[in-house]
């Protein structure tokens, strides 16, 4: 039955389809692209969660700093006033006025600080929820990439081992069958297809009519009407 070299080609095909499958798998390893997409969306902060939390926190920090300098200023005005240096009533009046301004400013700041003390914690909590989500996704990516790297190395080794079997299998296939097969393989990735028990091409699914089916069974080179692959059927027994 090995007259036309179809069985030898089948053996080559088994090696080639294993190689093809490994290549496809290596190309589609999950390196966390979905997670990276998700991170991008979250980091864009569409609801302004991160921005709001940052703005409130920095406003609070600025106000607390300002309060400190206003308190210092008040102390300085007091010491000017009661230190005995200033005696001129006009000057005393000016200092008193300035003290009033500073005190007003302090109490306005105090009111806003009290508000911020209420606003900052929930905003921070919301932001840290989002940040937690982002860092969890980053962790997922690291995990996936580590696994992908391992799988890639494994596939590479398996590919090398399988590819080493190819030259011997290649030599067993006569021309012009080999050239036809290689052309198809180059174009389609896989050059041979099996005919199923239901008389169909197992790759494209097209039915194989009775005549070509008989030809395949009788070890003739027949190409699938649908995908052009060389058809083959393992003989029973
Ligand atoms: Zn087909």
For the chain, the structural domain boundaries read 6-21+175-232, 33-163
Kindly tell me if the per-residue pLDDT of 2 is higher than 70.
Answer: no
**pLDDT-derived band at 82, boundaries 50, 70, 90:** confident
What pairing do the DSSP bridges indicate for beta strands 192-194 and 230-232? parallel
Residue 15's pLDDT is 97
Distance, CA 176 to ligand 1 centroid (Å)?
Answer: 20
**pLDDT above 90 covers what percent of the chain?**
92
Residue 3's pLDDT is 66
**Mean of pLDDT values over 68-72:** 97
pLDDT digits (tens, 9 = 90+) for 86-141: 888 999 999 999 999 999 999 999 999 999 999 999 999 999 999 999 999 999 99
**pLDDT above 70 covers what percent of the chain?**
98
Residue 236's pLDDT is 62
**pLDDT-derived band at 1, boundaries 50, 70, 90:** very low
**Mean of pLDDT values over 174-181:** 95
Distance, CA 109 to ligand 1 centroid (Å)?
Answer: 79
Contact at 8 Å (CB) between 102 and 77? yes
Contact at 8 Å (CB) between 230 and 222? yes
The CATH number that domain 33-163 falls under is 1.10.287
Rounded to whole angstroms, the Cα distance separating 237 from 1 reads: 12
Residue 235's pLDDT is 79
**pLDDT-derived band at 189, boundaries 50, 70, 90:** very high
Distance, CA 190 to ligand 1 centroid (Å)?
Answer: 11
Rounded to whole angstroms, the Cα distance separating 43 from 38 reads: 9
**Mean of pLDDT values over 47-59:** 95
Q: What average pLDDT does the structure give for the chain?
A: 94
Residue 23's pLDDT is 94
The two structure tokens encoding residue 116: 């911020």
**pLDDT-derived band at 234, boundaries 50, 70, 90:** confident
Nearest to 75 by CA among 113, 103, 50: 103
Distance, CA 126 to ligand 1 centroid (Å)?
Answer: 56
**Mean of pLDDT values over 147-167:** 97
DSSP 8-state code for residue 167 = H
Long-range contacts, stretch 194-197, CB < 8 angstroms, 24+ apart: 194/231, 194/232, 194/233, 194/234, 195/231, 195/232, 195/233
**Mean of pLDDT values over 29-53:** 95
Distance, CA 230 to ligand 1 centroid (Å)?
Answer: 8
Nearest to 67 by CA among 108, 101, 13, 26: 108
Rounded to whole angstroms, the Cα distance separating 80 from 106 reads: 19
Distance, CA 167 to ligand 1 centroid (Å)?
Answer: 26
**pLDDT-derived band at 237, boundaries 50, 70, 90:** very low
Q: Where are the beta strands (DSSP E) in the chain?
A: 192-194, 230-232
**pLDDT-derived band at 218, boundaries 50, 70, 90:** very high
């Amino acid at each position: 039955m090995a007259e036309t070299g179809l069985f030898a080609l089948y053996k080559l095909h088994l090696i080639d389809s294993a190689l093809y499958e490994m290549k496809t798998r290596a190309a589609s390893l999950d390196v966390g692209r979905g997670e990276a997409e998700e991170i991008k969306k979250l980091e864009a902060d569409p609801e302004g969660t991160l921005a709001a939390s940052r703005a409130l926190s920095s406003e609070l920090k600025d106000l607390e700093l300002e309060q400190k300098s206003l308190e210092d200023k008040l102390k300085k005005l007091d010491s000017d006033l009661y230190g005995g240096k200033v005696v001129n009533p006009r000057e005393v009046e000016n200092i008193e006025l300035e003290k009033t301004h500073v005190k007003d400013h302090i109490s306005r700041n105090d009111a806003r600080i009290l508000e911020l003390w209420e606003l900052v914690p929930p905003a921070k909590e919301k932001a840290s929820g989002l940040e937690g989500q982002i860092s969890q996704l980053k962790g997922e990516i690291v995990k996936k990439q580590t696994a992908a790297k391992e799988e890639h190395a494994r596939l590479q080794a398996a590919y090398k081992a399988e590819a080493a079997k190819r030259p011997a299998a290649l030599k067993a296939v006569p021309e012009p069958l080999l050239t036809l097969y290689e052309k198809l393989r180059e174009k389609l990735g896989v050059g041979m297809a099996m005919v199923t028990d239901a008389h169909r091409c197992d790759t494209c699914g097209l039915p194989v009519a009775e005549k070509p089916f008989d030809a395949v069974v009788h070890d003739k080179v027949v190409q699938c009407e649908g995908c052009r692959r060389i058809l083959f059927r393992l003989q029973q027994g």
